[in-house]
Amino acid sequence: MASITKPLIPLVRLERNELGLTVRDYEGAMSTLCAGCGHDSITAAIIRAVFELAIPPHMISKLSGIGCSSKTTAYFVRGAHGFNAVHGRMAAIATGANAANRQLRTIGVSGDGDSLSIGVGHLTHAIRRNVNMLYVIENNGVYGLTKGQFSASADVSSTSKRGEPNLLPPIDPMMLGLSLGATFVARGFSGDKAHLVPLLKAGLEHEGFALVDVISPCIQFGDHEGSTKSYAFTREHETLVDDPLLLGEDQIVAHLPDDATTSVRMHSGEVLRLRSLPAGFDPTDRASAFAYLEERKAAGEIPMGLFYVNEAVPDVHELNETSSEPLVSVPYKRLCPGSSALEEIQQRFV
């Protein structure tokens, strides 16, 4: 077998979650991405998030499109079914997967090329349907796998490795999400795991479509001077709007003084606390999120955090009143009306 597996080095006293599993139990195959690629850090954050939430690995279905970013579904939770599909269509496939089994935690991983160019139609419609899933865009401003062409998220005048400037205006997935009525809109940075893990956890706990844009520098084609998606540029320009972020009473991630705090009750019953919020910004108010993002952008900043959350919007199943048990589990007997109904139906045909 030609796959690369991680060496299992026995470690002393690994922390265990509610299921008695360690973080190693949520790992996947060894990454084949470039050393230092931002995507690998996101993989680590996803592993940490599902570990902390103690999601049984087999109850996860993880899907992706095509790209370096989309390869990463192989690198986390080996005990989950994974689906590395075709370029740009993950949102549609994930919609179908979620349609068939609403009890699975659906995790989609995509790239900025995958989501904002070829797949933007599917992304927007998955948002509209409010498919209950975590949708991560590993955003590096370039097509990594095809060697560094600008993607639709590249900023105007950000330069390629060869020095050419990007001319077209970017699609900001956060603004896109907000304008489409996405019910969970957040941005993180692959270089800041402490901030990213709680964001991903909140996204996983969100009942509906959780859009998480993660700035994830491509060290091959996007980490040079002049790129606005490099580690250095992102560090210099990021503004954390809600660092840290607390999930539930017992899941304190960090300790911070109690200043401006907003609480959102999640569908799961947990309470999501957002602290250190800037004045005038309310993540439960879409207009305020819009205004805040516009303002920060104008100031040349890259805001990071949870910009908007709305737990009250029905997801695709609630809207369609799908049975609460997964459709895959409905016994055939209940699905087939039988021969007498067929007779009855055919009365119309004589």
| Cβ–Cβ < 8 Å for 110, 67 | yes
Is residue 140 a contact residue for ligand TPP (CB under 6 A)? yes
- Does 328 engage in binding with other proteins (CB under 8 A)? yes
113 binds ligand TPP (CB under 6 A): yes
Ranges within 53-92 binding other proteins (CB under 8 A)? 56-61, 63, 66, 73-74, 78-86, 89, 91-92
Q: Which is nearer to Mg ion, 115 or 183 (CB)?
A: 115
User: Residues for the chain: how many in total?
Assistant: 350
Piece of the chain touching other proteins by CB under 8 A; list 204-212, 222-230, 292-300, 328-336:
328-336
Run of H or E including 221: none
44 CB contacts (<8 Å, ≥6 apart)? 193
Token representation of residue 329: 């589990």
Give CA separation, 97 vs 83, 131, 133, 330, in Å. Answer: 10, 10, 10, 15
Stretch that binds ligand SF4, among 29-37, 53-61, 168-176, 338-346 (CB under 6 A): 29-37
Residue 278 sits at φ, ψ, to 5 deg, of: -65, 155
The two tokens of residue 233 are: 């540029």
For residue 99, the Cα-to-chain-centroid distance in whole angstroms is: 18
Can you tell me the distance from the alpha carbon of 113 to that of 215, in angstroms, rounded to the nearest whole number? 13
Our finding on whether 350 is near other proteins (CB under 8 A) is yes
Q: Is 43 in the site for other proteins (CB under 8 A)?
A: no
Q: Name which of residues 30 to 59 contact ligand SF4 (CB under 6 A).
A: 33-34, 37, 39
Of the two residues 40 and 138, which places its CB atom closer to ligand TPP in the complex?
138
Shortest Å, Cβ 293 to ligand TPP: 22
User: Binding marks (x or -) toward ligand SF4, 55..94, rule CB under 6 A?
Assistant: -------------x--------------------------
- Are 309 and 283 contacting, i.e. CB atoms less than 8 angstroms apart? yes
Name the closest residue to ligand SF4 (Cβ). Answer: 144
